[in-house]
Amino acid sequence: MGPPPGGGITPGPARGTERIAALDDAFATDARFARLRTRGRRTGAWRSVTVGYVDEADGSILVAAGSLDRAWAANLLADPRVEVAVAGRTFAGEAEALDDRDPRRGRAVRELILRYGTPSEGLGSGPIFVIRAVEPA
């Protein structure tokens, strides 16, 4: 049997990179996950994503993108303002990308793997952010 008409299989998203909206919404109600709302870097429209996080002693959280092409991470790099819903609290925040020398990077990857059983392949190869609450103006 030969390839299907039209030249073969059309590649889709890489395995594990597609988002399922219903699953994302279900995770958003679980206190183990943080719901981030970022401004789209091209459209300016608000976009939501649910991610794993690590608590910091000062009330901030750490989040890590598994690759450089994660839209939510690119949005935060373009505009660090973010709305966060996590563990029963909601706040306006500001994201700061951690540089490679920051010890929180390694801790974030380690804690995310231990907390979520996340495969380590690629985790931390994208940006890692600390998100701090900002006071209303």
pLDDT cut 70: percent of the chain above it: 74
Residue 10 lies in a domain: no
What's phi and psi for 122, nearest 5 deg? 85, -25
Residue 6 lies in a domain: no
Residue 72 lies in a domain: yes
pLDDT, one tens digit per residue, over 44-73 is 999 999 999 999 999 999 999 988 888 999
Do 82 and 38 meet the contact criterion of CB atoms below 8 Å apart? Answer: yes
* Nearest one of 124, 27, 35 to 72, comparing CA atoms: 35
Residue 32 lies in a domain: yes
For residue 61, what are the domain limits? 21-133
Domain count of the fold of the chain: 1
Rounded to whole angstroms, what are the CA distances from 102 to 10, 33, 98?
A: 41, 23, 6
Residue 9 lies in a domain: no
Residue 98 lies in a domain: yes
Per DSSP, 109 falls in state H
Which pTM was predicted?
0.77
In CATH, what number is assigned to the domain containing residue 58? 2.30.110.10
Find the range with the poorest average confidence among 1-15, 59-73, 120-134: 1-15
Per DSSP, 7 falls in state T
